[in-house]
Amino acid sequence: MTKALLLIDIQNGFCPGGNLPVAEGDAVVPVANRLMASGAYDLVVASQDWHPADHGSFASQHAGKKPFDMGELSGQPQVMWPDHCVQGTVDADFHPDLETTRIDFIQRKGENPDVDSYSAFRDNDKAALTGLGDWLKANGVTELDVVGLATDYCVKFSALDAVDMLPGVKVRLIADGCRGIDPKGVEEALEAMRLAGVEITDSDRIGF
């Protein structure tokens, strides 16, 4: 049995004061730190949304579009986001209180300007893999707990891909270690994950 903790996009950009802030996004930091310090995990992996300045998911790249409008990217429907998590900027850094010294592997994503990558495992069109799945397989991971931002986007698609791409791995979402963008989207995301076989739990229920 090899247990891994996956921290999704716990970056300044998704916390209050960031460019795409999630309400109470910073509240996931103490939960993530407590889980990492618990000794329950053999491995800790973290994803980082890591966009070029001209990423096609940014409203700024589309004439007449405002943030949160719907648009298109490479012929697919795409939410137009505010510019966020641009490579090398403070917005893309991990939250300063996250205990990053405990992270064994960092997976960056969203570098291709022509496709978005909500999942830490592969682009939204499912064409290019990031390498995280292979890393977890190579390390013999059998149980994966997921926390981070945002529940209704990157957390959801990462957890669904974990179930899909890591057959036999038990995937759990620790809900109090996650925050989302849209409350309705969060409810739908939790239901979609549950239906796919992700166990939805809380840190206190599992003893942390």
Catalytic residue positions, numbered? 9, 109, 154
User: Which pairing describes strands 70-73 and 76-79: parallel, antiparallel, or unpaired?
Assistant: antiparallel
* Residue of 10, 19, 35, 49 that binds ligand VGL (CB under 6 A): 49
Amino acid at 149: L
* Residue of 26, 49, 83, 123 that binds Zn ion (CB under 5 A): 49
* By the rule CB under 6 A, 41 interacts with ligand VGL: no
Helix%, strand%, coil% for the chain, nearest 5: 30, 25, 45
Among the listed ranges 96-104, 131-139, 145-153, 196-204, the one in contact with ligand VGL (CB under 6 A) is 145-153
* Residue of 50, 58, 121, 153 that binds ligand VGL (CB under 6 A): 153
158 half-sphere exposure, CB direction, 13 A CA radius: 35
Q: Give me the least distance between CB of 112 and Zn ion, in Å please.
A: 12
Kindly tell me which of 40 and 192 has the beta carbon lying closer to ligand VGL: 192
Smallest CA-to-CA distance from 150 within 5, 27, 3, 57 is with 27
* By the rule CB under 5 A, 145 interacts with Zn ion: no
Rounded CA-CA distance 139/2 in Å is: 8
Only one residue has tokens 């997921």, namely: 146
Residues in touch with ligand VGL (CB under 6 A): 9, 14, 49, 81, 118, 149-150, 153-154
